[in-house]
Every structure is written in structure tokens, then in C-alpha cells.
Amino acid sequence: MAASTTAPMSTDTFWADAGRHLVRYGGEFTPEIIDHAAGSFLFTEGGRKILDFTSGQMSAILGHSHPEVVATVQRQVTSLDHLFSGMLSRPVVDLARRLAGTLPAPLEKAMLLTTGAESNEAAIRMAKLVTGKHEIVSFVRSWHGMTQAAASATYSAGRKGYGPVAPGNLAIPTPNTYRPDFTTDDGSLDWRRQLDFAFDLVDAQSTGSLAACLVEPILSSGGIIEPPVGYFAALREKCRERGMLLILDEAQTGLCRTGTWYAFERDGIGPDILTLSKTLGAGFPLAAVVTSEQIEQEAYERGFLFLTTHVSDPLVAAVGNTVLDVLTGERLDERARSLGAFLRQGLVDIAGRHEVVGDIRGRGLLAGLELVTDRGTKRTSNELGVRVTKRCLELGLHMNIVQLPSMGGVLRMAPPLTATEEELSLGLSLLDQALHEAAAAR
């Protein structure tokens, strides 16, 4: 029988138990015991106050413990929290209808799940069934999740040591304007020539079974890389020519994060299938697959099966409805645009003081700062990124998302949409100090 605890264990015992009983799943754990969180801040058991520039994992777009979300959970959990997967409740249907209302036609059919990996898994499964094909194309710097099909389409990390991935996964070059591989006469990225080359490679490798292209509008784990305007319209055309579906993964960019409700709005195109997660639940495990009536009908007729324990759960669906209420009522798309401009200007000012800042990128309240050893060669510095990230935490700023060794050179920031200019200024000040100290120690 497991022993119960009546008093908090000592700090030493806590870390000893963590070391003894927890599986490490993504590098080392942050060396802090978090006691509670509110708004833009985390509070440790030792009394430290840490500004959260990661929104908990890009998810808590309304900040931590938003009063309206707290009230929704308290109310909903007392009446209806979980159901048999084939049963429906009003929060689920309400959220599906309201999500459709935020999206352009013909995206109107939604499936509510738990995580980004699960939503991508379902989207890939649906695309394969509807097209009758199995090959999936994605960017070489992509991150779509850690379950089988999603991990097979993920190239930025985690591919080595696990054996064969699902057959038929093909990678295309990432259109990185900071490090162009195909260039025009003026040295800028020639993305049209790159895209043509990419699909020449796809066609050469394909067995004639191209089902879908799964991409992020802004590659987050890849280093906050945003393809140029026009790229996604051309990519969609490449898909159309080959009978492929276009799946957009907006786990980290959807629901006002980038200053519009969805990042794909910038390009004036829509996906065949859209996946959402992270921001939809504002920190709760809620994800969605949204597609057209035509694709859903064909999938249904072919026997689409994605029956999971927590599909269409009413508790998190109620939270999702509250998230939409707050995003709409507080016009957080507009707020993300204005705060994003404020944050970007602060990063530009920092770049003017630190030669190690090679590039600033992102949109709205999703920002990336690439650190380099030399601006001329653009040689990235994972080691410097690790030092800056560590020093930021010591100063009271948690600001770099997914601190894996291969991603350390780009500092990735995503403050809550509810943050204030004062909080952003504090974060910028702490980052400025950490960069100064890290550069001085080189």
C-alpha cells in the first residue's frame, strides 16, 4: 500500500524522490519546486517569483489561473467531467460550433481531443483514409508531436535510437530567410526555386502515394521560422497538383497568439485540415481537428476510427468555450498585435546593444532571438543560449521553450496574451542583463 503524506517533504527529500521515481523525458528538470502560479508569474516553494515568458509551454495564453477559467472548472467539474466517448454534451457541441465560427469556409467539422500530438495523429489518419494514400511531407525543422505518426513527421529532434518510423515520411527544406540555401541575385531567399527543388525531391522519392503535407505556419521548435508571404499559397498549389491534402498545425500559433486568430490568415489560404491544441485549452489538455464537411463525410463513409478515452470530454470543452469568451471579449488578437510590437521593439533595442544577437523573428507574442558567435558568419551558439537561459532563470525569468541542446541557439518566447507592458519590460530587462553577463563571461 502506498504511504500517505500529511506534511510536505523536505526539499532534499523532494529532489531525491524525483531522481529515484521520475522518468526524465526531455533533458533535465528545472531546478525549482513550483508551488503556485498566477497571471504571468510562477511562485516557488522557496518564495521566488519567476516571470513566465513561455506561457507554461506555449499554452497558458490567458496567463495562469485565469479567474474565468478557474470558475468554469469549478462549476463544470461538479456536474459533468467525463463521459463515454460516444456520448455528447452541450459544451462539446457548443465549442465545435463556435470554433467553426472563427474559421473560413469550408472548415466547419471539429473533433475534440487532448494534445497536439493526438490531433496531428488523427489528422494524418484521416488524410490517409480519405486519399487512400500514405505518404506524408513535412519540413525538415518540424515538430508535430511524439506519438507514432506525428513523430514520424517530426525532424527537429527525437528521431535517433527508436527504430524505423512510419514508412512514407518525406522531408522538404525549411524556407529560412535568415539562412537561405537558394538565393536570388541580392542574396535573399529564393523560396520559389527552393520549393520547386523540394517537390522534385518529393516526386523522386514518392512511390505514387502522396497523401498530405503537414506543416506549421511558423516553425516554433525549428527556431521561430516564418516562411515568406506567398510560400503557403504556392505550397498549397503543389499539393493540389498531386492530389494531396494540406494540414496546418497551429498548436502554437492559433487563437490570437500571432495577432490574428490563426497564423494562416496572413497568406489568404485555408488548410484542408487544421489542428489546434495548446492555446485552445489555455493550459488544459484540449485539442481539435477541424476540417470540411466533404472530407469528414468521406472519412465517415470509409469507416474513420479514432476512438480515444478522452475524445469529446465535457470538462475541457467547457474550458475551451471560456477561452473563446475571453479571447473575444478582451479582443486579445488586437492586444497580441500591440504587445507584440512592443516586445519586438524591445528585442531590437537589445540587439543594438549585443553583437551576439544575430536575428529577431516571429509575429505577435511569439518571438525568437537567435544568438550567434559572429554576425557575419551567422554561426549559431547553442552553448551561449544555454548560458543565457540559465542566467535568466536565476534572475527570475523563465523564457526559453524546450531547452534541448540542438535548439539552444534560438531563444523562443511566448508570454501570455494577458501580460502587461510592465511585465514585458521586466522580462526584456532581465534578458538584457543575462545577455550582458553571459557575453562578458565568454
Rounded Cα gap, residues 420 and 400, in angstroms: 19
Digit-coded pLDDT (tens) for 274-322 = 999 999 999 999 999 999 999 999 999 999 999 999 999 999 999 999 9
Q: What is the pLDDT of residue 407?
A: 65
185 is catalytic: no
Among 154-163, 302-311, 318-327, the least confident range = 154-163
Digit-coded pLDDT (tens) for 371-400 = 999 999 999 888 899 899 999 999 999 987
Q: What is the pLDDT of residue 4?
A: 55
Q: What is the pLDDT of residue 28?
A: 86
Overall average pLDDT of the 21-46 stretch: 94
Digit-coded pLDDT (tens) for 228-241 = 999 999 999 999 99
Digit-coded pLDDT (tens) for 133-142 = 999 999 999 9
249 is catalytic: yes
What percentage of residues in the chain have a pLDDT greater than 90? 92
Crossing angle of helices 191-205 and 231-241, in 10° steps, is: 30
Longest distance between any two alpha carbons in the chain, whole Å = 72
User: Which listed residue (141, 252, 257, 337) is catalytic?
Assistant: 252
User: Which listed residue (109, 128, 412, 423) is catalytic?
Assistant: 412
390 is catalytic: no
191 is catalytic: no
User: Which listed residue (141, 278, 335, 391) is catalytic?
Assistant: 278
Beta strands in 159-276 (DSSP E): 169-172, 210-215, 245-249, 273-276
Q: Are 288 and 275 in contact (CB under 8 A)?
A: yes
Show the domains of the chain with their CATH numbers: 30-59+331-440 (3.90.1150.10), 70-329 (3.40.640.10)
Digit-coded pLDDT (tens) for 65-105 = 999 999 999 999 999 999 999 999 999 999 999 999 999 99
User: Which listed residue (52, 121, 216, 272) is catalytic?
Assistant: 216
Q: Grid coordinates in use for 269? A: 489560404
Letter for the amino acid at 187? G
Rounded Cα gap, residues 223 and 14, in angstroms: 34
Beta strands in 201-337 (DSSP E): 210-215, 245-249, 273-276, 287-292
Asked if residue 337 has pLDDT above 60, the reply is yes
How many CB atoms are located within 10 Å of the residue 161 CB?
5
Asked if residue 42 has pLDDT above 70, the reply is yes
Rounded Cα gap, residues 228 and 235, in angstroms: 12
340 alpha carbon, distance to own chain's centre: 17
User: Which listed residue (76, 121, 141, 143) is catalytic?
Assistant: 143
The burial of 21, by beta-carbon neighbours within 10 Å (0-12 exposed, 13-18 middle, 19 or more buried), is given as exposed
User: Which listed residue (226, 249, 313, 333) is catalytic?
Assistant: 249
